Structure 1
Amino acid sequence: MNVTIYHNPGCGTSRNTLAMIRNAGIEPDIIEYVKNPPSREELAKMIVDAGLTVRQAIREKDTPYAELGLDNPVLTDDQLLDAMLAQPILINRPFVVTPLGTRLSRPSEVVLEILPETHKGPFTKEDGEKVLDAEGKRVV
């Protein structure tokens, strides 16, 4: 299965998502989007395919979101996309694209919705939260 993750290695959610993909036996294409941002068309498509608005795809925490005035409700989607492309840290993460769909994997276990059920056993997040049991089944 071809899987692409728009990854930030400094983000725990992104690291957990990448680890879950690998736990499914898949080695994804990893795009460090801060260094290699998607094109405007790719970003817009990921947002739409994930069922989000542009505003929902912007990361506010630990970014220049407020300083840039992006909290202004009159800004258009085009203006918000321009800001995200000019400063890719504003792109929320991680976006994951598979043949089964596209998701903004926040929380990280959202990625399970678009992966085949081929998990190789238990999975625990970096913070100790158990996501999959020893049989690869989702822990509720």
Structure 2
Amino acid sequence: MSVTIFHNPACGTSRNTLALIRHAGIEPAVVEYLKTPPSVEELRTLLAEMGMTVRELLRKKGTPYEELGLDDPKWSDEQLLELIQQHPVLMNRPVVRTPLGTKLCRPSSEAVLELLPGGPLLPFKKEDGEVIRDTGARRASAA
């Protein structure tokens, strides 16, 4: 199964999501998007696959969101996409793409489970010690 994660290794949710994918026996393609930002076209594709707006993908905390005044409705979607490409820290994470769909796996890393094959997985312990118990519920096909 082809799995890609847009990953920030400094983010606990992103690390837990990556570990959970690996716990499922899958070695994903890891895109450290702060080092290799997605193109504007790739961002458009991800948003379409997730059924999200650009504003829903924006991360506010720990980014130049406030400094750039991105809450102002004057910014068009195209301008916001360009800004995410220029300042990839503005992209919320982690985003995971599998043949079952694409999803922003936030605020909780277990959101990735519905995108993974098979299931249920054995219990998984997150970095903070919380145990994730997989119900086996999966998407039937890409949304």
TM-score normalized with structure 1 length:
0.91
Distance 2:66 2:48 in 1: 24
Q: Which amino acid aligns with 1:56?
A: E
Could you tell me which residue of structure 2 aligns to residue 83 of structure 1? 83
Distance 1:100 1:35 in 2: 26
SS in 2 for 1:5: strand
Q: Which amino acid aligns with 1:71?
A: D
Structure 1, unaligned runs of 5 or more: none
Q: Which amino acid aligns with 2:125?
A: T
Q: Which amino acid aligns with 1:131?
A: I
What per-residue deviation string (whole Å, max 9, x for no partner) do you get for residues 83-127 of structure 1?
100100111101101111000000211111111124652202212
Could you tell me which residue of structure 1 aligns to residue 22 of structure 2? 22
Q: Which amino acid aligns with 1:76?
A: S
Distance 1:63 1:119 in 2: 36
| 8 Å CA contact retained: 2:125, 2:132 | yes
1:72 matched to 2:75: no
- Kindly report the root-mean-square deviation, in angstroms, between the aligned alpha carbons of the 2 structures: 1.3
Could you tell me which residue of structure 2 aligns to residue 127 of structure 1? 128
Shift of 1:21: 0.4
Structure 2, unaligned runs of 5 or more: 137-143
| 8 Å CA contact retained: 1:25, 1:118 | no
TM-score normalized with structure 2 length:
0.89
Cα 1:119–1:9 shift into 2, 3 Å: farther
Distance 1:19 1:119 in 2: 16
SS in 2 for 1:66: helix
1:41 matched to 2:41: yes
**Across the two proteins, how many residue pairs are aligned to each other?**
135
Question: Deviation above 6 Å: which 4+ runs of structure 1?
Answer: none
| 8 Å CA contact retained: 2:119, 2:135 | no
